[in-house]
Structure 1
Amino acid sequence: MENFHILLSFSLLSLLISPRTATAQLSPNYYANICPNVESIVRGVVAQKMNQSPIAAPASLRLLFHDCFVRGCDASIMLISPVGDDERSSPDDMTLKPEGYDVIISVKAALDSNPQCRNNVSCADIIAMAARDAIFLSGGPLYTVELGRYDGKISTKSSVVLPQPDANLDLLTSTFAKFGLTQTDMIALSGAHTIGAAGCRSFYNRLYNYSPNQPTDPSMNPGFAQQLQQRCPRFFRPSDFAFLDTTTSRTFDNIYYQNLQRRMGLLGSDQVLFTDLRSANTVNKFASNQNEFFSAFVNAITKMGRIGVKTAVEGEIRRDCRFVN
């Protein structure tokens, strides 16, 4: 799956903190007496940003994945290093759109304008809530977000490593398994590609360089390949892109899986979910029943939100999401 990160190392302190202790602090009502209006404030800002830009929703959702799959869900993706040695400076995170960062910064500003909430809501929790609201406001499920994360203090370029967009099923499954996520979880979370887009570089080889005797990936629908070649010619511009779900690119639904059945998955790591018989049945289930997809997605993203949760001992609540206190 494109732009998913795997964790290479933990800080010594994080190894000393029991993951069970960290996740036990999470609660849907964590801010009930700290910032009672946190949910409505976050959703209001996300809705405003989505009205301003169609990129805001998928960009916000991608931030959550990119954050959780490196050092855990601790907003390390937001940190800016003065020497450029931060996660967002890595080649893989350079694809993240500024609209996603802007949503988080804007939510933080809105919360800080409320005296009761000021500097009491972590950036990590803001990312989790903004992603949920982007999903819901795009037509997806409304689910409860567990809250109570603290923000991490470390962000390094070298910690960002991820499977390539042409990753096979074994690599995708093993990557997610490192974080306690099953193959079904991985396939459900891949459904986040029902909104958003990818640059031509991410799937160029499927169009032109698949093999010496077969330039175009044979798992790709020929008509779909021709459409993509028009959007992404051999000498494409850096700004050229295609939608991950060409049918309903702004709606969070199960059409992504139906597209895989039609061999219209944009990335190789998308299409392999259907072409590999070990995962095809799950794709078929989600394609035929949107409620099944929504239920599996909520379960998977809730589990993902518990990865690497920081406690007050190892984290903080940043006054500015871009810098440690």
Structure 2
Amino acid sequence: METVPEATGERAPTGRITVDGLGKSFGPVEAVRDLTFTVEPGSVTGFLGPNGSGKTTTLRMILGLVTPGTGTALVEGVPFAELESPGTVVGAVLEVQGGHPKRTARAHLRAQAAAIGVPDTRVDEVLALVGLTESANRHVGGFSLGMNQRLALAAALLGDPRILVLDEPGNGLDPDGIAWLRQFMQSFAASGRSVLVSSHQLAEIELTAQRLVVIDRGRCRFDGAIDELRTSQGARVLVRSADPVKLAEALVADGLTEVDATGDDWLAVSGADAVRVGDAALKAGVAVYGMSEERVGLEQMFLKLLAEENG
């Protein structure tokens, strides 16, 4: 199975999405409220939130399918509707509906390619990218949910876009398919483009994304790197040193106030990573004999973050 190719052509692959003060209400229901975040090129951004948090409404506003009540959602500096050739800028999969059941996968993609002015040669390229070459002449009506997911992704890739917007792209995929999807998104972003992916598969997002945007009740609860969330949600470093008292004083002076002795010259340092603890020890001239990080899983971090915000 092929990997995603490098971006082609003379276009500038800026791949940036900017959401600023975005809001939308449906009658008395405030679905999204004062939401601000940026999706940067060269990264996979996980878009997380519980059911009813406003994720789908936000994605639909970014793609011009819902008109914002307040604020803006810009794709490379303009609203989606003002893009001259949207298919070459954004590829999106929001709902997997498949094609006509009597139409083959190749015919389905050729129809979509014609609609956006893409040559038929691109159809076979995207079929190879998503691993459907051997199924190209099968009728779509016989496809599984996972195969329809791949077909929808192939359609999103027809214009060789700079941005992918994906809503639950792993639904229906088997473990091999999920691993493939992870590698695909990372490769796509590594080529200088960007991915905004919404998913409830938190363990997979933890392996795939570099950045997270977490929303709840339509508002942003976190926007930053996964490691930043891990640090803020109680990750600890365990460190054994020659002089734990001196090291504890140095750590407190460095702004790390949650430092606890655990016995046998070990300290437990909350809210820090190993690099920061090691730098503080070096600066204080304290020899370190052992150090380990207690990593918190994304699911634990996610649940704790929402509990804090709603508590």
When the two structures are superposed, what TM-score results if normalisation uses the length of structure 2? 0.25
Structure with higher helix content: 1
- Structure possessing the higher relative contact order (Cα contacts under 8 Å, 6 or more residues apart): 1
Structure with higher strand content: 2
